[in-house]
Amino acid sequence: MINLEIPRRQAGLIDQAHQLAMNMLRPISRKYDRAEHEYPQELDMLAALIDGVAETGATGGAGAGGVRREEKPRTSEDSGRVRNGTNLASVLSIAEMCWGDTALLLSMPRQGLGNSAIASVANEEQLERFRGTWAAMAITEPGTGSDSANITTTAVKDGDDYVINGEKIYVTSGDRADSVVVWATLDRELGRAAIKSFLVRKDNPGLKVERLEHKLGIRASDTAAITFTDCRVPAEDLLGSPEIDDRSGFAGAMATFDNTRPLVAAMAVGCARASLDLTRDLLERAGVVIDHDRPAQLQSAAASTFLRLEADWEGAQLLMMQAAWMADNRRPNSLEASMAKAKAGRVGSDVTLSCVQLCGTLGYSEGELLEKWARDSKILDIFEGTQQIQQLIVARRVLGLSSAELR
């Protein structure tokens, strides 16, 4: 039976994440929203603190970088045991940190989305060798849209190296990270099965950060365009197996998304929760009482709208927790990861924009952070697969159809 209660052993971690968000991220949120592309120096101390706690094992593996799922088969002794473990701890702690500031969470050293890719597909030797790296993730290309299978960046074997050529855009932490997980194809004629991910260090010859993007939201997080021109990468830095398996197809690379989509859902849940908490306070100051014990239709329009938003938010949170819980209990969660990402992305945008409207001039001005959260939340409905792509994936899974059968 699924158990979505917050484990007692992780309650301290979640409370600690909330305290960090409230006391360290929220106070500098506006500063770095205005100072786009300026690195938040305050994060170095916070990252060192997180590293220290992680080394003690107190976090159970939680962090923005994601966690690696256990691959050992269940024994008869633990077949009936319910695990609320590291994946659940990760999404809950990330939601709390994004209650403070999503862009600053994305800027955290050694907590990049590329770290989730490493956790998903790297072998044991690579996990140890890449420990401590700060990895961005480079998937999107000009002209490929949301179809990750349509990648044109190539990786050609040359002796003990692969030579990578191509261009990647919208790479989160692409300038600040010390390495980049790059998706490239070994053979374009073989389609999806030939797509592999490589860890490319920023000092590798042939890698060039071309520009930083100016964005609507998450302005504290750098977003880069990167080119690879005859960029040589040691063969040992291809993540996972170099073999092209037509039977598993794209599954190896796509396993990354099963790890990262619940994390992005958690970001949307945290940002939306921040908007709801502040909106409740502002409405109460204006004399609007929100009563959870009375039917919504018997309350004011503002209170009724708030109750609807809160109920929608709770649905997103539960889907996020379900996807993480399934990963902890070694159950395939591709469907649930996409459902969580789709729901949370849509709810995040709806909640934050609706909170701006409910609060009127206070919501629209820079006097409060509501307008910033509305700008930040939009990207969470776009990256790691847009709303439409998630719905397409869910439809394929529910109907049992392949990508060729349902486009």
Question: Nearest Cα to 89, choosing from 44, 53, 126?
Answer: 53
DSSP labels, 219-286? TTS-EEEEEEEEEEEEGGGB-S-----TTTTTHHHHHHHHHHHHHHHHHHHHHHHHHHHHHHHHHHHT
Element spanning 161, H or E:
strand 161-172
Distance CA 302, CA 355 (A): 10
The residue type at 281: D
pLDDT computed for residue 319 by the predictor: 96
Q: With a cut of 70, which residues of the chain have pLDDT below it?
A: 1-4, 52-82, 84, 246-253
**What is the C-alpha to C-alpha distance for residues 320 and 338, in angstroms, rounded to an integer?**
10
DSSP state of 181: E
Decide: 102 and 172 in contact? Cβ < 8 Å. no
What pLDDT, on the 0 to 100 scale, is given for residue 60?
Answer: 45
Helices (H), 359-406: 360-364, 370-379, 387-399
Could you tell me the two tokens for 141?
Answer: 């290309």
Q: Record the tokens describing residue 271, joined without a space.
A: 């940002």
Q: Which residue has the tokens 């692409």?
A: 174
pLDDT at 250: 59
> Which residues lie closer than 8 Å to 132 by C-beta, 6 or more apart?
110
Residues with catalytic function: 384
Q: How many CB atoms lie within 10 A of CB 10?
A: 20
Closest listed residue to residue 99, CA positions, set 407, 351, 392, 359:
351
Looking at residue 148, its pLDDT comes to 73
Output the pLDDT for position 58: 53
Prediction pTM value: 0.92
Q: What is the pLDDT of residues 169-224, one digit of tens each?
A: 999 999 999 999 999 999 988 888 899 999 999 999 999 999 999 999 999 999 99
Q: What is the CA radius of gyration of the chain?
A: 21
Beta-carbon contacts of 106 under 8 Å, excluding residues fewer than 6 positions away, are: 64, 172, 173, 218, 220, 221, 267
Would you state the structure tokens that stand for residue 290, as one six-digit string?
Answer: 């929100």
Find residue 225's DSSP bridge partners. 211
**Domains in the chain with CATH codes:** 8-126 (1.10.540), 132-237 (2.40.110.10), 251-399 (1.20.140.10)
Check residue 63 and give its pLDDT.
42
Q: What is the pLDDT of residue 62?
A: 39
Q: Are strands 179-185 and 135-138 parallel, antiparallel or unpaired?
A: parallel
- The overall longest dimension of the chain from CA atoms, in Å, is 73
Round to whole Å and give the CA distance between 171 and 143.
15
pLDDT, position 192? 82
Strands 223-234 and 195-201: unpaired
Token pair 């261009």 is at which residue?
167
